[in-house]
Amino acid sequence: MDSRRKGFTLVELMIVVVLVGLLATMAYPNYVTTREKALDKEAISGLMLIRNSERQFFSRLESFYPTPIGTQGCATFINGNLSLALNANFWAYSVTTTSATAFTARAVRGGRTWSITNAVGDPTCAGTCL
Protein backbone atom coordinates (compact mmCIF):
# COMPACT_ATOMS: atom_id res chain seq x y z
CA MET A 1 0.00 0.00 0.00
CA ASP A 2 1.09 3.50 -0.79
CA SER A 3 1.22 5.60 2.39
CA ARG A 4 1.76 8.94 0.61
CA ARG A 5 -0.77 11.62 1.38
CA LYS A 6 -2.56 13.49 -1.34
CA GLY A 7 -2.77 17.30 -1.23
CA PHE A 8 -0.58 20.36 -1.25
CA THR A 9 2.38 21.02 0.97
CA LEU A 10 2.66 24.16 3.08
CA VAL A 11 5.44 25.50 0.85
CA GLU A 12 3.28 25.13 -2.27
CA LEU A 13 0.41 26.97 -0.62
CA MET A 14 2.71 29.77 0.56
CA ILE A 15 4.10 30.19 -2.97
CA VAL A 16 0.56 30.51 -4.34
CA VAL A 17 -0.34 33.11 -1.68
CA VAL A 18 2.79 35.13 -2.47
CA LEU A 19 2.09 35.04 -6.22
CA VAL A 20 -1.52 36.15 -5.73
CA GLY A 21 -0.29 38.97 -3.49
CA LEU A 22 2.20 40.12 -6.11
CA LEU A 23 -0.43 40.11 -8.84
CA ALA A 24 -2.83 42.08 -6.64
CA THR A 25 -0.09 44.61 -5.82
CA MET A 26 0.58 45.18 -9.51
CA ALA A 27 -3.12 45.44 -10.44
CA TYR A 28 -4.27 47.83 -7.68
CA PRO A 29 -2.76 51.08 -9.05
CA ASN A 30 -4.35 50.43 -12.43
CA TYR A 31 -7.68 49.79 -10.72
CA VAL A 32 -7.50 53.10 -8.82
CA THR A 33 -6.59 55.07 -11.95
CA THR A 34 -9.37 53.44 -13.97
CA ARG A 35 -11.89 54.12 -11.19
CA GLU A 36 -10.93 57.79 -10.97
CA LYS A 37 -11.20 58.18 -14.76
CA ALA A 38 -14.68 56.63 -14.63
CA LEU A 39 -15.70 59.02 -11.85
CA ASP A 40 -14.41 61.96 -13.91
CA LYS A 41 -16.55 60.77 -16.83
CA GLU A 42 -19.54 60.62 -14.47
CA ALA A 43 -18.97 64.26 -13.49
CA ILE A 44 -18.60 65.34 -17.12
CA SER A 45 -21.78 63.50 -18.08
CA GLY A 46 -23.70 65.03 -15.15
CA LEU A 47 -22.56 68.53 -16.05
CA MET A 48 -23.54 68.06 -19.68
CA LEU A 49 -26.99 66.92 -18.50
CA ILE A 50 -27.26 70.01 -16.30
CA ARG A 51 -26.35 72.29 -19.22
CA ASN A 52 -28.91 70.68 -21.52
CA SER A 53 -31.60 70.87 -18.83
CA GLU A 54 -30.69 74.49 -18.10
CA ARG A 55 -31.21 75.30 -21.79
CA GLN A 56 -34.67 73.72 -21.67
CA PHE A 57 -35.44 75.59 -18.44
CA PHE A 58 -34.32 78.84 -20.11
CA SER A 59 -36.49 78.22 -23.18
CA ARG A 60 -39.57 77.90 -20.93
CA LEU A 61 -38.91 80.68 -18.39
CA GLU A 62 -36.33 82.93 -20.10
CA SER A 63 -34.03 82.57 -17.08
CA PHE A 64 -31.59 79.94 -15.88
CA TYR A 65 -32.11 77.91 -12.71
CA PRO A 66 -31.88 78.80 -9.85
CA THR A 67 -34.07 81.86 -9.98
CA PRO A 68 -33.67 84.41 -8.55
CA ILE A 69 -29.92 84.77 -9.05
CA GLY A 70 -27.99 82.63 -6.57
CA THR A 71 -26.57 79.18 -5.90
CA GLN A 72 -28.27 75.84 -5.47
CA GLY A 73 -26.01 73.19 -3.98
CA CYS A 74 -28.50 70.43 -3.24
CA ALA A 75 -28.70 67.63 -5.81
CA THR A 76 -32.30 66.88 -4.80
CA PHE A 77 -33.44 70.40 -5.76
CA ILE A 78 -31.31 70.39 -8.91
CA ASN A 79 -32.82 67.05 -9.94
CA GLY A 80 -36.37 68.18 -9.16
CA ASN A 81 -36.27 71.60 -10.80
CA LEU A 82 -34.31 70.54 -13.88
CA SER A 83 -36.04 67.13 -14.24
CA LEU A 84 -32.78 65.21 -13.84
CA ALA A 85 -31.60 62.09 -12.05
CA LEU A 86 -28.06 63.04 -11.05
CA ASN A 87 -26.21 60.53 -8.91
CA ALA A 88 -24.72 62.53 -6.04
CA ASN A 89 -22.95 59.61 -4.34
CA PHE A 90 -19.47 60.67 -5.45
CA TRP A 91 -19.85 64.29 -6.59
CA ALA A 92 -21.32 67.38 -4.95
CA TYR A 93 -23.16 69.24 -7.71
CA SER A 94 -24.03 72.93 -7.56
CA VAL A 95 -25.50 75.43 -9.98
CA THR A 96 -24.86 79.18 -9.71
CA THR A 97 -26.58 81.86 -11.76
CA THR A 98 -24.74 85.15 -12.11
CA SER A 99 -27.48 86.74 -14.21
CA ALA A 100 -30.70 85.65 -15.88
CA THR A 101 -28.66 84.65 -18.93
CA ALA A 102 -25.57 82.99 -17.42
CA PHE A 103 -24.92 80.02 -15.13
CA THR A 104 -22.03 77.87 -13.93
CA ALA A 105 -22.49 74.26 -12.83
CA ARG A 106 -19.86 72.52 -10.73
CA ALA A 107 -19.11 68.99 -9.62
CA VAL A 108 -16.73 68.81 -6.63
CA ARG A 109 -15.04 65.75 -5.14
CA GLY A 110 -11.84 65.68 -3.09
CA GLY A 111 -9.22 67.76 -4.90
CA ARG A 112 -11.19 67.96 -8.17
CA THR A 113 -13.65 70.53 -9.42
CA TRP A 114 -15.26 70.12 -12.82
CA SER A 115 -17.24 73.10 -14.12
CA ILE A 116 -19.33 74.03 -17.13
CA THR A 117 -21.10 77.21 -18.24
CA ASN A 118 -23.95 78.01 -20.56
CA ALA A 119 -21.39 78.72 -23.30
CA VAL A 120 -20.48 76.06 -25.85
CA GLY A 121 -17.62 73.79 -24.82
CA ASP A 122 -16.69 70.83 -22.70
CA PRO A 123 -16.44 70.85 -18.91
CA THR A 124 -13.10 71.98 -17.52
CA CYS A 125 -11.26 70.57 -14.53
CA ALA A 126 -9.40 72.36 -11.77
CA GLY A 127 -7.24 70.34 -9.38
CA THR A 128 -5.74 66.90 -9.82
CA CYS A 129 -7.55 65.54 -12.87
CA LEU A 130 -6.71 62.46 -14.89
Report yes or no on 109 lying in a domain.
yes
Report yes or no on 5 lying in a domain.
no
What are 47-105's pLDDT values in tens digits?
A: 999 999 999 999 998 899 988 788 888 888 888 889 898 888 999 999 999 888 899 99
> What's the confidence (pLDDT) of residue 75?
87
Give the range of the structural domain holding residue 76, as residue numbers without chain letter. Answer: 10-127
Residue 125 pLDDT exceeds 80:
yes
Report yes or no on 112 lying in a domain.
yes
Contact predicate 114/107, CB 8 Å = yes
Report yes or no on 2 lying in a domain.
no
Residue 1 pLDDT exceeds 60:
no
Residue spans of beta strands (DSSP E) within 1-130: 71-72, 92-99, 102-109, 112-117, 124-127
Report yes or no on 76 lying in a domain.
yes
Report yes or no on 29 lying in a domain.
yes
Phi and psi at residue 29, to the nearest 5°: -60, -40
How high is the mean pLDDT of the chain? 89
Report yes or no on 103 lying in a domain.
yes
Report yes or no on 37 lying in a domain.
yes
How does DSSP classify residue 4? P
Tally of domains within the chain: 1
Q: What is the pLDDT averaged over residues 109-117?
A: 92
- The neighbouring-strand residues paired with 16 are none
